[in-house]
Amino acid sequence: MAEIAVAKLALKDAHELAPLLAASVQDRKRGAPRAPDQYYAELLLKDRTAEIIGARFDGRLVGYAVFFDLPDTMTGMRTGQLDDLFVIQDARGRRIGQALIDALAAEGERRGWRQIRWMVPEKPATARRLAERLAKSGGWLTYSVPVPRP
């Protein structure tokens, strides 16, 4: 039986993360498939605020979660914010998403988080269904404020 292993991703994992990032964009936006961008994967893995865990199934990277450790102004404690969770299409239905959430919850327990806020995109519907199955509504609405670009 195949095992799911979840661990923090490092710079050496950029070549495996890049195709997943491209597939995630394709999943949300449709249209032409995106080309994997190893340079962007490296930038993301070196980001000073974002942290990324990855899920391996039979040794292959099949999913990731991008999260942040933030102050919670309501309680004075810390909170986790899950901004992106993705599982490649051919690995879905194997509880990879659940394994990523479980690992993040365990990390939150170690860090003393009050909760994990999960930013879930409206599309694709599979993302919403996963969140509705694994989490409960947090009482927050999310809006985007456009920032002018020069």
Going by CATH, does the domain composed of 4-134 fall within 3.40.190.10?
Answer: no
Phi, psi angle pair for 117, to nearest 5°: -85, 130
pLDDT of residue 33: 63
pLDDT of residue 29: 78
CA terminus-to-terminus distance, the chain: 53
- The angle that helices 14-29 and 38-46 make with each other, rounded to 10 degrees, is 100
pLDDT of residue 27: 83
For residues 30 and 95, what is the distance between their CA atoms, to the nearest angstrom? Answer: 24
Q: Where along the chain do its domains lie?
A: 4-134
| Alpha carbon distances (Å) from 123 to 24, 70, 128 | 11, 25, 8
Which tens digits make up the pLDDT trace of 107-141? 999 999 999 999 887 777 787 888 888 888 877 77
pLDDT of residue 93: 92
Residues of the chain with pLDDT under 50: none
For residues 30 and 11, what is the distance between their CA atoms, to the nearest angstrom? Answer: 28
pTM for the whole thing? Answer: 0.89
